[in-house]
């Protein structure tokens, strides 16, 4: 009985110490998208290792099959479109990918202004 109580307490402590991802970055993409492929080459390997990527983990969505658990403020017409989500609702977006410098500046600015991000210098 003591083992069961210890195990339950340990499991509860572990689960409550995990971060709750209220903010996430959704990348809406589609097959054959040239700029999506470019983003995947230039940014995707780095993104989860950055402060921005840890603050707002990346989630991928297909243009033609939007996630049912998210609400976009308006329809997505271009790929890639990066949508900043907080608790299932869109709070900001970046349409397109014109290069890595613009992407980092813009995403960090959106995160700072819309989600309270205090990491990475701009």
Token pair 């390997």 in the structure block, residue:
45
Phi, psi of 45 (to 5 degrees): -65, -25
- Each residue of 11-69: pLDDT tens digit? 444 443 334 458 999 999 999 999 999 999 999 999 999 999 999 999 999 999 999 99
- Kind of pairing between the strands at 89-95 and 23-29: unpaired
């Amino acid at each position: 009985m003591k083992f069961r109580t210890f195990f339950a307490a340990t499991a509860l402590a572990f689960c409550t110490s995990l971060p709750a991802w209220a903010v996430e970055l959704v990348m809406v993409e589609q097959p054959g998208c040239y700029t999506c492929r470019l983003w995947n080459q230039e940014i995707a390997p780095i993104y989860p290792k950055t402060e921005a990527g840890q603050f707002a983990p990346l989630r991928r969505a297909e243009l033609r099959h939007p996630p049912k658990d998210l609400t976009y403020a308006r329809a997505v017409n271009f790929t890639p479109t990066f949508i900043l989500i907080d608790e299932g609702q869109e709070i900001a977006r970046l349409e397109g990918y014109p290069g890595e410098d613009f992407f980092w500046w813009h995403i960090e600015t959106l995160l700072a202004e819309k989600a309270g991000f205090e990491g990475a210098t701009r």
